[in-house]
Amino acid sequence: MPRLTSPAPLADDLDLSLDLIARAHAVPVPDDETALKLLTDEELRPGLEAVIADRTGGDELWVFAYGSLMWRPEFDFAESRLGTVRGFHRRFCLLQRRFRGTPDKPGFVLALDRGGLCRGVAFRLMGTDLHQILMPVWRREMRGMGYVARWLPVATEGGTVPALTFLVNRASDRYSGRLTDAEIADRIAAACGHLGPSAEYLFRTVEACAALGIRDRHLWSLQKLVAERLRARIGLTADPA
């Protein structure tokens, strides 16, 4: 499991921390390549070509980030803006049986599901070869068949831009439907894969949102609930001495 290091403190009302996560998930988890089928670049290429063909909006190329792309972009970018997508909301609704979970204890990653709105970051990408520029992020988001890609209007202070956005694939067996925050927190707190705990993904996203001034009720509720469960986990497994 990657070493966890603590960043600068966040807002006072955030309960989750990397130290708590590391203490609750101290045992590394080996990778299981059979846990999730991943598409090859050859299998991914037709979908990328199709989405590029559907692109409108001039010469600029934008990608909308609302989860891990906010804190670990898969591309070089020339500009970033806070932006809002309407008609979809950010939610932990995509099961993760590999990377940050296992088949027995799947974690969650974020996706955009129907209804509401989502504040995130619109990145303007650099370069002219669209296939070459987009393949790294396309591979990252689409190889597990959990997302569908759409060009959505993103409202920013500099105007509305069409951005490539990854929505939940409701036809995927990874789609969880609408569970309660308590049910989601149970799974996030328990899950860990070879890339680390599911709770770290949650923490990093909350950290990024806090730094950007984005307050998301779903995320803030979950980080509190997950922290409570991790503390209980430590209390049950800690040496009484």
How close are the terminal C-alpha atoms of the chain, in Å? Answer: 27
Let me know: does 163 contact 150? Beta carbons within 8 Å: no
Going from N- to C-terminal start, the domains of the chain cover 18-237
Tell me the per-residue pLDDT of 99-119, one tens digit each, with 9 for 90 and over. Answer: 999 999 999 999 999 999 999
Q: Residue 12's pLDDT is what?
A: 56
Q: Residue 86's pLDDT is what?
A: 98
Let me know: does 152 contact 51? Beta carbons within 8 Å: no
pTM of the model: 0.91
Assess whether pLDDT exceeds 90 at residue 9.
no
Tell me the per-residue pLDDT of 130-171, one tens digit each, with 9 for 90 and over. Answer: 999 999 999 999 999 999 999 999 999 999 999 999 999 999
Residue 7: C-alpha distances to residues 4, 17, 37, 206, 208 (Å)? 10, 10, 34, 12, 11
Third-level CATH fold of 18-237 = Hypothetical upf0131 protein ytfp (3.10.490)
Assess whether pLDDT exceeds 90 at residue 240.
no
Catalytic residue annotation:
141
AA letter at 138? W
Q: What residue spans of the chain are helical by DSSP H?
A: 18-24, 41-53, 68-71, 130-142, 181-190, 198-212, 217-237
Q: Residue 40's pLDDT is what?
A: 98
Tell me the per-residue pLDDT of 161-216, one tens digit each, with 9 for 90 and over. Answer: 999 999 999 999 999 998 999 999 999 999 999 999 999 999 999 999 999 999 99
**Strand 62-65 to 107-125 pairing:** antiparallel
